[in-house]
Structure 1
Amino acid sequence: MHRRALLGGALAAPALLSFPVRAQGAVTLNGASQFGDEHPYTRAMVRFEALVKQYYGKPVNFVLHKNSSLGLEKQYFEYMAQGRAVDYAIVSPAHMSTFSKAAPFVDAPFIFRDLAHWNAVLDQDLFKPVADEVERRARVAMIGYGGGGVRNIFFNKRVTNLAELRGLKVRVQGAPIWSRTFAAVGMSPTVIAYNEIYNAIQNNVIDGGENEAAGVEQMRFFEVAPQLSMTQHAITIRPLCFSVQSLNRLPTDLQAAIRRAGKEASAYHREAESGADGQILEALEKAGKLHRVEFTQRAEMKRLVDPVMAAYAREIDAEAILNRINALTA
Structure 2
Amino acid sequence: MTFNKSIKKIFKATLVGAAFAAITSTATAETLRGASMFDENHTFTKTMVKFNELVGQYYKGDVEFDLRLNGEFGVEKDYVTFLNQGVAIDYTILAPSNMARFAPSIPLMDMPFLFRDLDHWNTVLSSDVLSPLEKELSDKADIVIVGYAGGGTRNLISSKRISNMDELAGHKMRVMGAPIQAQVFNAIGAAPSAIAYNEVYNAIQTGVVNGLENEAASLQNLKFYEVAPHVTKTSHTITVRPLVFSGKTFRKLPADLQAAIMKAGKEAGAYGRELESREDGIKLQQMADAGQIKVAEFANREKLLDMVKPVQDKFAASINATELLSAIRSK
After TM superposition, is the score higher than 0.5? yes
Within 5 Å, which residues of 2 pair with 1:1-330? 23-328=26-331
Structure 1 residue identity aligned to 2:253: L
SS at match of 1:31: strand
Return the alpha-carbon distance in structure 2 between the equivalents of residues 319 and 278 of structure 1: 33
**C-alpha displacement of 1:57:** 2.4
Displaced runs of 4 or more, over 2 A: none
SS at match of 1:317: coil
SS at match of 1:239: strand
Return the alpha-carbon distance in structure 1 between the equivalents of residues 28 and 103 of structure 2: 37
**C-alpha displacement of 1:23:** 4.8
Superimposed CA distance per residue, residues 196-253 of structure 1 (whole angstroms, 9 cap, x where no aligned partner): 1111111111000000111111011111111101111111000000011101111111
Compare 38-47 and 119-128 and name the one that shifted more.
119-128
SS at match of 1:111: coil
**C-alpha displacement of 1:41:** 0.3
List runs of 5+ in structure 1 lacking aligned partners: 1-7, 10-21
Aligned-residue sequence identity (percent) comes to 46
Return the alpha-carbon distance in structure 2 between the equivalents of residues 241 and 280 of structure 1: 26
Structure 2 residue identity aligned to 1:235: I
Return the alpha-carbon distance in structure 2 between the equivalents of residues 296 and 48 of structure 1: 40
**C-alpha displacement of 1:150:** 0.5
Question: Aligned residues, how many?
Answer: 309
Root mean square deviation, CA, Å: 1.2
Superimposed CA distance per residue, residues 22-61 of structure 1 (whole angstroms, 9 cap, x where no aligned partner): 8522111110100000000000000111111111122111
Return the alpha-carbon distance in structure 1 between the equivalents of residues 297 and 98 of structure 2: 30
Return the alpha-carbon distance in structure 1 between the equivalents of residues 32 and 328 of structure 2: 35
List runs of 5+ in structure 2 lacking aligned partners: 7-24
Superimposed CA distance per residue, residues 234-281 of structure 1 (whole angstroms, 9 cap, x where no aligned partner): 110000000111011111111111111111111100000000000000
Structure 1 residue identity aligned to 2:118: L
SS at match of 1:28: strand
Return the alpha-carbon distance in structure 2 between the equivalents of residues 107 and 286 of structure 1: 30
Return the alpha-carbon distance in structure 2 between the equivalents of residues 190 and 249 of structure 1: 40
Return the alpha-carbon distance in structure 2 between the equivalents of residues 188 and 144 of structure 1: 33
Structure 1 residue identity aligned to 2:97: A
Compare 116-125 and 211-220 and name the one that shifted more.
116-125
Return the alpha-carbon distance in structure 2 between the equivalents of residues 267 and 208 of structure 1: 30
SS at match of 1:177: helix
Structure 2 residue identity aligned to 1:225: A
SS at match of 2:256: helix
TM-score (norm 1): 0.92
